[in-house]
């Protein structure tokens, strides 16, 4: 685990538990300042970072070379100097200087806290310290030159697509709740065009539209990161793709970009912004939530496009129930139980079938699209025993499902670091799947050609869709979510294209780590009020993983967008070695690829959970391999074999998951622990960070929020940050 990952996972807990060593004399207290509590919060997170980095150095003295730190002495010196810089920034802030141009460090810390709460603050401290540590070693005056300033000026991202700006586009913005017909109407426009593209957030949605268009006789390509189906002798007419794969170099009649509210996502928002700003279509249809209207209208006005807003209402009513169902025995035909762990979904499936004597379909994101469609058809068909469905939040986007009640089994979701509460938009989108308008029989007959989310049909009287929970403790939170308005999306995500990163890279001295250049870009980038920079945490981790391999910057930038996670970073390094050497990419030649997992007899496995984890890890690695086969065909030559192995792994994973038992007592205990941790975080963080523009006069009171978070945490005294860091 890298130092960056170590800090990301542990600092929020560590920062709350630093006792003050009695061996250090307490200096006289400093006079109170305007941001005393926020300063103290920053101190604690900086201490957490320094301690985690020191621990990493003890394990591996070479581990922090990408931080430009060669040992504990240099770490201590750098941390002390950085703490002085942070203290100085707070001094400026206390005197009223808080703007990004005049006090960028304080602005960045405050911005990270406002957008991401304590986790966002921890990330911002890590970025700032990393940039500070590398400044002396990798300094270049060119980054401050006119060309450097121009390259880091991201205020006009629409100018990155000059061919698109030469087209006067009409943007149709279809907004409304789930089950309102917005996506259906956009797809109708696509079907009547000569050429066009559909871009959605999931492989599932791309696959469904691909099937829909193909069934209607359209010559259509399927473009996702890990799978591409292109008809022979194909001349571009139609494509269905994930939004990151949106073709930007082809002139089209119609483009449909689904779930446009994702443009505000911290991680993937840049892909929606890139697709919207860059697609060369005369007619662009955006589908999503009402809270995007102001932003899209402003962007259209700025770039000279015409914007037409189409508003839709639900085709059937929706309401929350007054009671939770309490027990699986209280399920009714047409119920969908929502949870967020694949293992837990299969356990629920087993529990429902054991309790009710009826069959239960299952849908979650990593199921192959064909399997998900098959499971949806089984659930929709009223003439079989599949009365129930267990599903992840995959049902929130796509799949025509005739759901009577949506029942939340959990209201938190693991985000890779911690269990976080579902947001109001998440709850509304998932819960809104209740009360689907078409009859089950009609759904079963037409699912193969159905739209990925809504059908346009006439209204008629029908019982409302219902939303509730399995656990009574969760019901109030679900009810509150439906009573509140989702926060407006005020900014679109942004990341620089690879070509721009390559130009900036050329300004730095040779052997400057790409990760340092990325954090430097993040520090220097200028963005307008309509945009924000998406999180580059994964980019930095990838850059560190491949830094020591000799390869052109173009290849490194390509790998930044590879579908990796923390547990597949080492296998990415192995694949990158093949790219560096330009050989050795046959699937069976990759040493760290644990294909022996398929030789294991599942009946002889002593630790089923560990075996399942092995299968899932290899599946991720093979998926990454397939992604690379489309970008380095001459090196990774085993595409057909990889698809075969992937299918074997999926079958084996499903077999293992089918063996999962439902243990309600154990699940209840786990749920209680998760809920208690989530409640503790809510209490600490106060749930009082409104979605307001940073730096505005009515922005959030970070001082009051910090004081609330720090309640109950032992005071560390009033000494300067340099002394606080020294104690770490």
Q: Which of 185-189, 455-459, 495-499 has the lowest mean pLDDT?
A: 455-459
What is the C-alpha separation between 93 and 2, in angstroms, rounded?
A: 33
Nearest to 453 by CA among 176, 244, 219, 189: 176
Coil, helix or strand at residue 548 = coil
Burial class of 88 by CB neighbour count within 10 A (0 to 12, 13 to 18, 19+): middle
Q: Regarding predicted confidence, which is higher, 492 or 69?
A: 492
SS (H, E, C) 140-169: CHHHHCHHHHHHCECCCHHHHCHHHHCCCC
| Virtual torsion, Cα 724, 725, 726, 727, nearest 10 deg | 60
Q: In the structure, what pLDDT confidence band is assigned to residue 714 with cuts at 50, 70 and 90?
A: very low
pLDDT at 604: 85
Residue 57 has pLDDT above 50, yes or no: yes
Q: Please report where in the chains the tokens 């604690």 appear, as a residue.
A: 44
Q: Are 33 and 94 in contact (CB under 8 A)?
A: yes
Angle at 386 between CA 659 and CA 670, to 5 degrees: 45
Q: Which of 106-110, 111-115, 619-623 has the lowest mean pLDDT?
A: 111-115
Residue 580 has pLDDT above 50, yes or no: yes
Query: What DSSP element (H or E) covers 175?
Result: strand 170-175
Q: Which residues pair with 515 in a beta bridge?
A: none
Buried b (16+ CB within 10 A) or exposed e, 246-273: bbeeeebbbbbbbbbbbbbbeebbbbbb
pLDDT at 713: 46
Mean pLDDT of all residues in 191-201? 96
3-state helix, strand, coil in the chain (%, to 5): 50, 10, 35
Mean pLDDT of all residues in 158-168? 96
Mean pLDDT of all residues in 236-247? 94
> Per DSSP, which regions of 557-616 are E strands?
none
Q: In the structure, what pLDDT confidence band is assigned to residue 343 with cuts at 50, 70 and 90?
A: confident
pLDDT tens by residue, 378-391: 999 988 999 999 99
pTM to 2 decimals? 0.85
pLDDT tens by residue, 140-157: 777 778 888 899 999 999
Q: Which of 60-64, 278-282, 441-445, 502-506 has the lowest mean pLDDT?
A: 441-445
Which two structure tokens, joined as six digits, stand for 215? Answer: 């069934």
Average pLDDT, the chain: 84
pLDDT tens by residue, 627-667: 999 999 999 999 999 999 999 998 998 888 777 777 777 76
What is the C-alpha separation between 558 and 169, in angstroms, rounded?
A: 30
Report the sign of the C-alpha dihedral through residues 688, 689, 695, 696, in that order: negative
The full set of domains in the chain, from first to last, is: 3-153+496-560 (no CATH), 157-311 (3.40.50.300), 329-363+379-469 (3.40.50.300), 566-658 (1.20.58)
Coil, helix or strand at residue 43 = helix
Mean pLDDT of all residues in 25-46? 72
Residues 6+ away with beta carbon under 8 Å from 341: 410, 414
Residue 450 has pLDDT above 60, yes or no: no
Q: In the structure, what pLDDT confidence band is assigned to residue 674 with cuts at 50, 70 and 90?
A: confident
Which two structure tokens, joined as six digits, stand for 104? Answer: 């960028």
pLDDT at 453: 43
DSSP 424: H
Q: In the structure, what pLDDT confidence band is assigned to residue 702 with cuts at 50, 70 and 90?
A: low
Length of the chain: 728
Residue 372 has pLDDT above 60, yes or no: yes
Mean pLDDT of all residues in 349-364? 92
Rg (CA), the chain: 26
> Per DSSP, which regions of 70-207 are E strands?
170-175, 196-200
Q: Regarding predicted confidence, which is higher, 447 or 213?
A: 213
Q: Regarding predicted confidence, which is higher, 33 or 231?
A: 231
- φ and ψ at residue 406, rounded to 5 degrees: -100, 125
pLDDT at 460: 47
The Cβ-side half-sphere exposure at 53, using a 13 Å CA radius, reads: 29
pLDDT at 14: 42
CA 442 from centre of chain = 34
Nearest to 364 by CA among 404, 397, 412, 406: 397
Mean pLDDT of all residues in 109-129? 87
Q: Which of 277-286, 362-371, 700-709 has the lowest mean pLDDT?
A: 700-709
Residue 323 has pLDDT above 90, yes or no: yes
Residue 620 has pLDDT above 50, yes or no: yes
Nearest to 414 by CA among 621, 677, 654: 677
Which two structure tokens, joined as six digits, stand for 242? Answer: 């994930």
- φ and ψ at residue 602, rounded to 5 degrees: -55, -30
- Show the DSSP H helices in 401-513 as ranges: 424-431, 440-446, 472-483, 498-505
Residue 498 has pLDDT above 80, yes or no: yes
Which two structure tokens, joined as six digits, stand for 113? Answer: 């806290």
pLDDT tens by residue, 525-569: 999 999 999 999 999 999 999 999 999 999 999 999 999 988 899
pLDDT at 33: 67
What is the C-alpha separation between 29 and 6, in angstroms, rounded?
A: 33
- How far from each other are the two terminal CA atoms of the chain, in whole angstroms? 21
Q: Regarding predicted confidence, which is higher, 517 or 396?
A: 517
pLDDT at 683: 59
pLDDT at 432: 92
Percent of the chain with pLDDT over 90: 56
pLDDT at 137: 83
Nearest to 110 by CA among 177, 183, 34: 34
DSSP 396: G
pLDDT at 28: 43
Residues 6+ away with beta carbon under 8 Å from 130: 4, 67, 515, 516, 519
């Amino acid at each position: 685990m890298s130092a960056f990952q170590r800090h990301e996972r542990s600092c929020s807990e560590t920062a709350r538990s630093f006792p003050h060593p009695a061996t250090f004399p307490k200096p006289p207290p400093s006079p109170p300042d305007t941001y005393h509590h926020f300063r103290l919060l920053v101190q604690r997170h900086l201490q957490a970072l320094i301690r985690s980095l020191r621990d990493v150095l003890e394990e591996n003295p070479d581990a922090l070379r990408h931080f430009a730190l060669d040992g504990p002495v240099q770490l201590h010196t750098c941390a002390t100097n950085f703490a002085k810089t942070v203290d100085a920034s707070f001094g400026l802030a206390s005197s009223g200087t808080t703007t990004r141009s005049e006090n960028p460090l304080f602005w960045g810390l405050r911005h990270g806290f406002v957008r991401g709460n304590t986790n966002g603050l921890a990330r911002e401290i890590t970025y700032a310290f990393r940039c500070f540590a590398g400044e002396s070693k990798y300094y270049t005056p060119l980054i401050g030159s006119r060309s450097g300033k121009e390259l880091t000026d991201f205020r006009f991202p629409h100018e990155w697509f000059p061919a698109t700006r030469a087209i006067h586009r009409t943007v149709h913005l279809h907004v409304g709740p789930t089950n309102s017909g917005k996506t259906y109407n956009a797809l109708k426009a696509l079907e009547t065009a000569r050429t066009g593209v559909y871009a959605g957030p999931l492989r599932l949605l791309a696959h469904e539209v691909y099937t829909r268009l193909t069934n209607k006789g359209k010559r259509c390509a399927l473009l996702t990161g890990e799978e591409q189906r292109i008809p022979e002798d194909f001349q571009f007419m139609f494509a269905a793709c994930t939004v990151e794969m949106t073709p930007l170099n082809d002139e089209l009649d119609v483009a449909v970009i689904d779930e446009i509210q994702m443009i505000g996502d911290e991680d993937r928002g840049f892909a929606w912004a890139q697709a919207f700003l860059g697609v060369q279509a005369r007619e662009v249809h955006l589908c999503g939530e009402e809270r995007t209207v102001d932003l899209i209208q402003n962007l259209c006005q700025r770039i000279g496009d015409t914007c037409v807003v189409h508003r839709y209402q639900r085709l059937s009513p929706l309401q929350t129930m007054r009671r939770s169902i309490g027990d699986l025995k209280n399920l009714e035909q047409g119920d969908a139980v929502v949870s967020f762990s694949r293992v837990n979904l299969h356990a629920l499936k087993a529990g429902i079938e054991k309790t009710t004597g009826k069959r239960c379909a299952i849908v979650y994101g990593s199921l192959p699209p064909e399997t998900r469609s098959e499971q949806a058809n089984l659930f929709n068909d009223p003439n079989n025993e599949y009365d129930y469905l267990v599903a992840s939040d995959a049902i929130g986007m796509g799949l025509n499902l005739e759901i009577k009640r949506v029942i939340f089994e959990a209201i938190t979701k693991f985000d890779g670091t911690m269990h976080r509460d579902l947001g109001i938009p998440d709850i509304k989108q998932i819960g809104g799947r209740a009360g689907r308008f078409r009859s089950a029989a009609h759904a079963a007959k037409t699912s193969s050609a159905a739209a990925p989310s809504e059908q346009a049909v006439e209204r008629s009287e029908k019982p409302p869709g219902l939303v509730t929970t399995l656990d009574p403790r969760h019901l109030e939170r679900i009810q509150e979510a439906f009573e509140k308005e989702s926060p407006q999306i005020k900014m679109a995500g942004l990341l620089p294209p690879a070509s721009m990163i390559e130009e900036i890279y050329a300004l730095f001295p040779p052997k400057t780590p790409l990760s340092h250049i990325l954090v430097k870009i993040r520090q220097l980038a200028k963005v307008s009020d309509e945009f924000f920079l998406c999180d580059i945490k994964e980019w930095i981790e990838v850059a560190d993983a491949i830094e020591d391999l000799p390869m052109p910057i173009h290849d490194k930038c390509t790998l930044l967008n590879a579908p990796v996670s923390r547990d597949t970073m080492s296998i990415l390094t192995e694949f990158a070695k093949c790219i560096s050497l330009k050989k050795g990419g046959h699937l069976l030649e990759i040493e760290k690829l644990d294909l022996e997992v398929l030789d294991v007899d599942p009946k002889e496995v002593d630790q089923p959970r560990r075996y399942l984890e092995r299968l899932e890890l290899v599946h991720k690695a093979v998926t990454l391999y397939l992604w690379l086969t489309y970008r380095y065909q001459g090196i990774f030559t085993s595409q057909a074999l990889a698809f075969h192995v992937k299918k074997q792994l999926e079958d084996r994973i499903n077999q293992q998951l089918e063996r999962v038992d439902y243990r309600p007592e154990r699940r209840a205990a786990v749920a209680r622990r998760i809920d208690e941790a989530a409640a503790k975080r809510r209490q600490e963080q106060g749930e009082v960070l409104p979605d307001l523009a940073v730096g505005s006069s009515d922005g959030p009171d970070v001082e009051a929020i910090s004081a609330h978070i720090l309640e109950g945490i032992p005071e560390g005294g009033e000494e300067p940050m340099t002394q606080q860091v020294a104690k770490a």
